[in-house]
Chains A and B, each alone.
Chain A
Amino acid sequence: DAGVTQSPTHLIKTRGQQVTLRCSPKSGHDTVSWYQQALGQGPQFIFQYYEEEERQRGNFPDRFSGHQFPNYSSELNVNALLLGDSALYLCASTNTDYGYTFGSGTRLTVV
């Protein structure tokens, strides 16, 4: 039973560019959340998707957007990248039993 899969593993982008990160949830999970983890900090909630709609959002600017597909997989898009967007981006999937499973993350470096 595959867990949460994220791609790519690492990514280097230039300031001002756009980036798309991808997440496939654990089998049986229908809800996907995205978190940003800066170096030395805990993960910060970005947003959550359920039934292809953004259900909740944390304190992140509109440059951060997402999408969920009918197969429950999800994308995180960040526009107009800033140096401060450099972080580990974690995807977590869950269902109604609150069993959160995290992926290994995508490490984004903005130069």
Chain B
Amino acid sequence: AQKVTQAQTEISVVEKEDVTLDCVYETRDTTYYLFWYKQPPSGELVFLIRRNSFDEQNEISGRYSWNFQKSTSSFNFTITASQVVDSAVYFCAPTNQGNLIFGKGTKLSVKP
């Protein structure tokens, strides 16, 4: 069955700390995309990063970086030098037959 496991329900850090959000997924697709979204209290899902399953090169985009390991179906996301504005719920979402599957998310609180 397709599903997403974000084992960390809540994380609390102090501003400027680095934080890594874990994600393990299952999808029926042999090729797929992986996404990270951020959801502030306003409710809108804000796109952060996207990766395709046949490119395991890990990259850095500003304060964001990710570690994709297809062999273990993990797609972890790191925020460097966290800021208070990073406080939100973060969702990892793989595609599955053209749609996105979401886990329960990880609530990140960044304190000043």
Residues of A whose CB lies within 8 Å of any CB of B are 33, 35, 40-45, 48, 55-56, 58, 88, 90, 92, 98-105, 107
Please indicate the chain B residues that have their CB under 8 angstroms from the CB of A88 in the complex: 43
Chain B interface residue count: which class? 20 to 34
The number of residue pairs between A and B whose CB atoms lie closer than 8 Å in the complex comes to 53
Q: How far is the CB of B3 from chain A (nearest CB, A)?
A: 10
- Is the beta-carbon distance between A104 and B50 smaller than 8 angstroms? no
Residues of B whose CB lies within 8 Å of any CB of A are 4, 33, 35, 37, 42-47, 50, 91, 95, 97-105
**From A44, A48, A90, contact of B45 by CB (8 A):** A90
Tell whether A100 pairs with B43 under 8 Å between CB atoms, given A42-B91, A48-B98. no
Tell whether A100 pairs with B47 under 8 Å between CB atoms, given A42-B4, A42-B104, A44-B102. yes
Q: How far is the CB of B8 from chain A (nearest CB, A)?
A: 14
How far apart are the CA atoms of A103 and B43 in the complex, in Å?
9
The 8 A-B residue pairs with the shortest CB-CB distance, nearest first, are A42-B102, A102-B45, A104-B44, A105-B43, A43-B102, A45-B99, A98-B33, A42-B104
21 pairs from A and B in contact (CB 8 Å cutoff):
A35-B102, A40-B104, A43-B102, A44-B102, A48-B98, A56-B98, A58-B99, A88-B43, A90-B43, A98-B33, A99-B50, A100-B100, A102-B37, A102-B45, A102-B46, A102-B47, A103-B44, A104-B42, A104-B43, A104-B44, A105-B44
